[in-house]
Chains A and B, each alone.
Chain A
């Protein structure tokens, strides 16, 4: 059965800290790993990773995929209170396998 496991489940940091969120996956015929940010509404897309070892960056956020070890990390540097959210990781395969989401990491950034 396909699964995506995220860790930690929750995290509290101070503004300015750097955080690393983890995502491991087991997805049949894996094609892509996606990261989303969910505040008090719908998830919003952050990154999609398909190739191993290539870092994707957007401002203070970056992510990398390791297809050999089947995991991805999401880094957030110089955290701000606006980064407080649940971060979701999802694995996508080919064929008729559904997109599988992890349970998310709840990040709280305190001033």
Chain B
């Protein structure tokens, strides 16, 4: 089954404690992306990757890091989480960035206290 998986689905952590949210897709997609979704602000792109070892900033990259060492995986790293990073995070993948539909993972609800 074609899918995007994220782990963990829910995470409560404390300020400053490094965390990683994993994302994996099994569709051999070149393009992967991370979004955060907040009430009233909609979906905002954090980082995206056009292919292995190619990543670029989206609209709200501050406080986040990503890596793309393999085509299928695109982890999101918060080196020092802060309460303003409490949000719902989605990973997505697509065959192409703008021309094809993106498939979304199930989401990770992160709370930073």
Closest approach, in angstroms, between the C-beta of A76 and any C-beta of chain B?
19
Is B104 within 8 A of A43, CB to CB?
A: yes
Is B42 within 8 A of A99, CB to CB?
A: no
B65-99 interface (Cβ within 8 A of A): 90, 97-99
Complex Cα distance, B100 from A94, in Å, reads 12
Is B98 within 8 A of A42, CB to CB?
A: no
Complex Cα distance, B105 from A22, in Å, reads 26
Complex Cα distance, B98 from A93, in Å, reads 6
Q: How many residues of B contact A (CB 8 A)?
A: 24
The B contact surface, by secondary structure, is: loop
Chain B hits for A67, CB < 8 A: none
Partner of A34, one of B35, B56, B102: B102
| A13-21, A44-52, A58-66: which lies at the interface | A44-52
* Residue on A nearest B31 in the bound complex, by CB: A99
Question: What 1/0 flags go to A85-111 for Cβ under 8 Å of B?
Answer: 000101011101111111110000000
Question: What 1/0 flags go to B42-74 for Cβ under 8 Å of A?
Answer: 111100100000001011000000000000000
Complex Cα distance, B44 from A42, in Å, reads 14
Interface: B24 (CB within 8 A) = no
A24-55 interface (Cβ within 8 A of B): 31-32, 34, 36, 41-45, 48, 50
On whether A102 and B42 interact (CB within 8 A), knowing A41-B107, A42-B90, the answer reads yes
Chain B hits for A97, CB < 8 A: 98
B32-46 interface (Cβ within 8 A of A): 33, 35, 40-45
Q: Which 5 A-B pairs have the closest CB atoms?
A: A92-B98, A103-B42, A42-B104, A101-B43, A45-B101
Of the A-B pairs whose beta carbons lie under 8 Å apart in the complex, a sample of 9, sorted by A's number, is A32-B100, A48-B99, A92-B99, A93-B98, A96-B56, A97-B98, A100-B45, A101-B35, A103-B41
